[in-house]
């Protein structure tokens, strides 16, 4: 949603890189670009004015203008101000001391209240609560049936005494739901109310009557984050007519510019409490202002990714995989690789997962074009192997690869690529599991261009000398192992050693060094 805003801010910060000191002109130019970026993102004008003024004031302070890296200082200022306008601190749901806790959802038709009610119920259920969904939207066709279907999918009971479709009294249903919750020992009641295509007196009156009937502990205003500036006006109208305690943003996975999310908190004074970013019932979470600010500035959202992984991953399977990678629990096989891939699939789409990593905004086009079916193709190839082949991929020779390719409906080159990538990934993961660090990091043997020993170029320094070409090795692991054994037999028959010298022969290194015209007194280093 915030792609356009993120790109504009990133371009703005690029102009500050390399500057030793921020001048008044630099600050004004940066503020102007930030103002344009926010306006293009459909952020409300009063919010833009306050935001830019705060950034300019802090950027003019001496410790920023004279900082060693002014660009990073400005990014930190913008991040802090984004956190402020998004609410500052995370607002948690309040629960009644003596249940049940009543949560009332209000908003316009089409904002996604009914689906959101089921998402919230599932989230509360995972928190150890016992929620009850209440169908008080008796106007919209099939709204009651929709809530019942979603409640069944979430495994949550739905209280729907009236059929809806214009039949029934929503105020009476809401009042009866509280008694039903007490009788059936449900500790949270989620009341789904009716909406309209626009704000009108009838809508406001019905919502106010339901509020008065059940005295909710939390009234949440559900707003579609894709409607832009109109979201702010609607939020203010509901605040004046009904009143609410917090805001829930839906459809954050859309392609809108995201101005509503940045404006509502500042204009209404009510915090954004929850956010929904997907069609699945599990696509619902607490809204964290600091994490959202980090996403906007392309700093990633690793904390949310970790939390989702903790909820999704099987701890026992993950522990077994870690033991195998560290060499204590056997060898990491293609079966383990497939299990880990299936665990990752439970987190959601790969583009969404990778988008939570820092710096991925620069690869947005590649992420958007990522083919999610590629994982299905990999699974098809692995499942076309025999158990023995999955346990020992080195035994997969040419004929086996042809059979696997035919069984999975893929080309032989796809099978070759998967096997090669598996060996490379296993080697990297084993090195990391044993404390060797990430290949390519400073001080570690790494990938070309990453700066470690054997890693090619180090920044802008000299390029490392190329290694001499050795014996060519086949890409087929089985054939490569056979060739290595043959080479070892030849070396043993020749009676040589790895250094090319006859066995048992002593070398006079001082005499050999004298013929090399080495610097004076260099011979002491040879002793």
Is 253 labelled a binding residue?
Answer: yes
Is 110 labelled a binding residue?
Answer: yes
Could you give the CA distance from residue 184 to residue 267 in angstroms, rounded to a whole number? 40
Is 113 labelled a binding residue?
Answer: yes
Is 402 labelled a binding residue?
Answer: no
Is 109 labelled a binding residue?
Answer: yes
Q: Is 218 helix (H, G, I), strand (E, B) or coil?
A: strand
- With CA atoms as reference, report the closest residue to 132 among 154, 109, 111: 154
Is 112 labelled a binding residue?
Answer: yes
Is 414 labelled a binding residue?
Answer: no
Could you give the CA distance from residue 129 to residue 121 in angstroms, rounded to a whole number? 9
Could you give the CA distance from residue 174 to residue 390 in angstroms, rounded to a whole number? 57
At 135, phi and psi to the nearest 5? -90, 95
The count of other CB atoms within 10 Å of the CB of residue 212 is 12
Could you give the CA distance from residue 42 to residue 226 in angstroms, rounded to a whole number? 10
Is 107 labelled a binding residue?
Answer: yes
Give the bridge partners for 286, in sequence order: 274
Is 111 labelled a binding residue?
Answer: yes
Q: Is 38 helix (H, G, I), strand (E, B) or coil?
A: helix
Taking each helix axis as running N to C, give the angle between helix 412-433 and helix 315-325, from 0 to 180 degrees, rounded to the nearest 10: 90
Is 451 labelled a binding residue?
Answer: no
Alpha helices (runs of H) in 346-411, residue ranges in sequence order: 350-355, 364-368, 373-383, 387-391, 398-408
Could you give the CA distance from residue 423 to residue 436 in angstroms, rounded to a whole number? 17
Could you give the CA distance from residue 214 to residue 155 in angstroms, rounded to a whole number? 24
- With CA atoms as reference, report the closest residue to 146 among 167, 117, 122: 117
Is 317 labelled a binding residue?
Answer: no
Could you give the CA distance from residue 347 to residue 355 in angstroms, rounded to a whole number? 13
User: Using CA of residue 269, residue 273, residue 278, residue 279, what is the dihedral sign?
Assistant: negative
The count of other CB atoms within 10 Å of the CB of residue 503 is 7
Could you give the CA distance from residue 22 to residue 112 in angstroms, rounded to a whole number? 46
* Max CA separation in the chain (angstroms): 106
Peptide bond just before 349 cis, omega within 30 deg: no
Is 10 labelled a binding residue?
Answer: no
Is 114 labelled a binding residue?
Answer: yes
| Strands across the sheet containing 246-250 | 157-159, 131-136, 188-193, 101-106, 218-224, 246-250, 272-275, 285-286
Specify binding-site residues: 107-114, 192-196, 250-253
Specify binding-site residues for GTP: 107-114, 192-196, 250-253
């Amino acid at each position: 949603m915030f792609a356009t805003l993120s790109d504009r801010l990133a371009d703005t910060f690029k102009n500050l890189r390399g500057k030793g000191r921020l001048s008044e002109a630099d600050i004004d130019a940066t503020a102007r670009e930030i103002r344009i970026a926010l306006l293009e993102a459909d952020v409300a004008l009063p919010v833009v004015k306050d935001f830019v003024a705060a950034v300019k004031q802090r950027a003019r302070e001496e410790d920023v203008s004279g900082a060693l890296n002014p660009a990073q200082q400005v990014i930190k200022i913008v991040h802090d101000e984004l956190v402020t306008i998004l609410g500052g601190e995370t607002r948690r749901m309040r629960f009644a001391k003596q249940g049940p806790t009543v949560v009332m959802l209000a908003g316009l038709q089409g904002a996604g209240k009914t689906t959101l009610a089921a998402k919230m119920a599932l989230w509360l259920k995972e928190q150890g609560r016992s929620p009850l969904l209440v169908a008080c939207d008796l106007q919209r066709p099939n709204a009651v049936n929709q809530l019942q279907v979603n409640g069944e999918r979430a495994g949550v009971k739905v209280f729907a005494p009236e059929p809806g479709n214009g039949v029934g009294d929503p105020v009476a249903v809401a009042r009866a739901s509280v008694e039903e919750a007490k009788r059936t020992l449900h500790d949270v009641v989620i009341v789904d109310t009716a909406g309209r295509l626009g704000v009108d007196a009838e809508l406001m009156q019905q919502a106010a009557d339901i509020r008065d009937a059940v005295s909710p502990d939390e009234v949440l205003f559900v707003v579609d984050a894709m409607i832009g500036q109109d979201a702010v006006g609607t939020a203010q109208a509901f605040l004046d007519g009904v009143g609410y305690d917090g805001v829930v943003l839906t459809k954050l996975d859309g392609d809108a510019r995201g101005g509503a999310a940045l404006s509502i908190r500042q204009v209404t004074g009510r915090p954004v409490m929850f956010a929904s970013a997907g069609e699945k019932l599990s696509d619902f979470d607490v809204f964290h202002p600091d994490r959202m600010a980090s996403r906007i500035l392309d700093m990633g959202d690793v904390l949310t990714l970790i939390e989702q992984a903790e909820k999704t991953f099987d701890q026992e399977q993950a522990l077994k995989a870690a033991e195998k990678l560290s060499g204590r629990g056997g060898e990491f096989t293609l079966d383990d690789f497939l299990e880990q891939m299936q665990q990752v699939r439970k987190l959601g789409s790969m583009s969404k997962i990778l988008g939570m990593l820092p710096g991925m905004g620069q690869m947005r086009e590649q992420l958007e074009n990522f083919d999610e079916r590629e994982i299905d193709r990999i699974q098809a190839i692995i499942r076309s192997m025999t158990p023995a082949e999955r346990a020992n991929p080195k035994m997969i020779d040419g004929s086996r690869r042809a059979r696997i390719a035919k069984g999975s409906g893929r080309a032989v080159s796809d099978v070759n690529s998967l096997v090669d990538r598996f060996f490379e990934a296993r080697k990297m993961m084993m090195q990391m599991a044993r404390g060797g660090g990430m290949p390519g990091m400073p001080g570690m043997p790494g990938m070309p261009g990453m700066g470690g020993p054997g890693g090619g170029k180090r920044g802008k320094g000299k390029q490392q000398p190329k290694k001499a070409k050795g014996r060519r090795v086949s890409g087929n692991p089985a054939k490569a192992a056979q060739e290595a054994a043959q080479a070892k037999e030849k070396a043993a028959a020749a009676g040589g050693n790895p250094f090319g010298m006859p066995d048992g022969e002593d070398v006079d290194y001082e005499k050999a060094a004298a013929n090399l015209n080495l610097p004076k007194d260099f011979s002491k280093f040879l002793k």
